[in-house]
Amino acid sequence: MRRAGLAGLGLVAGLWLLAVVALAGLWSGRGAPEPGVEATSSGRLLRPPSQAAQKTFRALLTLPGQPLEGPGESGQEPPPPPVPADPPRGVAEPPVRGGIFWSRALEAQVPPGFSAEEAASWLRAAREARVVSLERGGCGRSSNRLARLSDGSRACVRYGINAEQIQGEALSYHLAGLLGIQERLPPLALARVEARGGQWAPVRDELRGSPWADGAVVSLARWVDNLTDVVAPAPWRAEAGAAATSGPRRLQPLSAGELRGLSQAQLVELVQWSDLIVFDYVTANFDRLVSNLFSLQWDPRVMQRATSNLHRAPNGGLVFLDNEAGLVHGYRLLAMWDKYNEPLLRSVCVFREATAQRVRELHRARNAAAQLLHLYRTREPLAGVLGFLSEQQAQLLQDRVDFVHKHILHCKAKAASL
């Protein structure tokens, strides 16, 4: 019996000891599962897949380019970095990125111009349509005419003082294609004036009374209704007069730091102006803003007036009209006009990235004239009639592309140093 009693006491003591241990475990570990283990509502503990892998993936998303943290001295993984919050709604994106490129959001707000499909459709129709009437006025020089075509559309027919002006306008149109800004120019085609030809037969009598020579090549540019004048934005409203020998002075720089306080509409217009300045420099076109700058010497308020050969379409987009002073004619008069064109280019240090990319590609390929010739011959049936640039002019085109590229690099270096 003594042995049985002792055995009973031992059993009770063992049960009591087990109960104490269980209570201690519950008391110290209640509600605190081991790291990486999640308690479900049913009380089950679920361990997720490798927490280390989760942390590494999150770090790659939130901290690119930074070294990943390893386990600390305690052997435990540090907590994952917080996920950055989305920017508050209503906060505007800065208008310039990388110091010299217009933001994509801002470029997306530029009103569309003439799409490639729209231009191709109009050009096909214009080449096949007959000219049913020719009217004076509305298209520049007195020798030009406003033509009504049999398909119902209208076109400005320009008859150059000499062939190089028509050639320059056609080449400028296709160069705009190489630069990626052709949508800002009305679709343009060449046509040969032939009183006995099918296209011009309905206006045979009107041709007899015009200064046009039979067989002359003219340009047909799509007519755009309801265009309005455009005054140069503030960065190019030079306040001081400029002598013809010294060039324009006090042009305000168009750079990221000069854009504070401008409205969205003003910024959208400046995006288009930056393309215009590049285009006019490459083509050496003096018959637009340059002519206004030249006129400052006798008209100090000329920059407050409409800019030559630049208009605004009803949707707000800029339209680069009448580019016959570009390339051929402009290159012949470089000595007179580059003192204005070059300061204008230097006044711009913010660009569309796509335009800068096209300039860079033309610079690296070293064949701007060859690319232009290929495009011209491919898309203009009368390209061979007017001819192309001379070797000297072709080299000038490349030189001016190279100069724009160098200037963009200068702007980029300047922005990086700020």
Q: Where are the domains of the chain?
A: 96-111+225-417, 116-222
Task: Could you list the beta-strand ranges (E) of 77-216.
Answer: 96-97, 101-102, 131-135, 145-149, 154-158, 188-192
Q: Quick: pLDDT tens for 368-402.
A: 999 999 999 999 999 999 999 999 999 999 999 99
* Mean pLDDT confidence for 289-300: 89
Lowest mean pLDDT among 192-196, 256-260, 312-316: 256-260
- Distances, alpha carbon 140 to alpha carbons 80, 159, 322, in Å: 68, 10, 9
User: Which among 221, 167, 218, 184 has a CA at the least distance from the CA of 372?
Assistant: 167
User: Which among 278, 350, 410 has a CA at the least distance from the CA of 96?
Assistant: 350
Beta bridge partners of 147: 134, 155
- Statement: residue 59 has pLDDT above 60: no
Highest mean pLDDT among 60-69, 177-186, 226-235: 177-186
Read off the pLDDT band of 161 (50, 70, 90).
Answer: confident
Q: Quick: pLDDT tens for 2-26.
A: 444 434 434 334 444 444 334 344 3
CA pair distance 243, 387, nearest whole angstrom? 37
Residue-wise DSSP of 52-78: HHHHHHHHHHHSTTSPPP---TTSPPP
In the prediction, which pLDDT does 238 show?
56
CA pair distance 324, 165, nearest whole angstrom? 5
Length of the chain: 418
CA pair distance 133, 354, nearest whole angstrom? 41
Q: Which two tokens stand for residue 320?
A: 């680069």
CA pair distance 381, 232, nearest whole angstrom? 36
pTM comes to 0.76
**Phi/psi at 348 (nearest 5 deg)?**
-110, 125
Beta bridge partners of 156: 146, 221
Q: What is the mean pLDDT of the chain?
A: 79
Name the CATH code of domain 116-222 (choices 3.30.200, 2.60.40, 1.10.3470, 1.20.5).
Answer: 3.30.200
CA pair distance 238, 249, nearest whole angstrom? 7
Helix (H) or strand (E) holding 294: helix 289-295
Tell me if residue 170 falls in helix, strand or coil.
Answer: helix
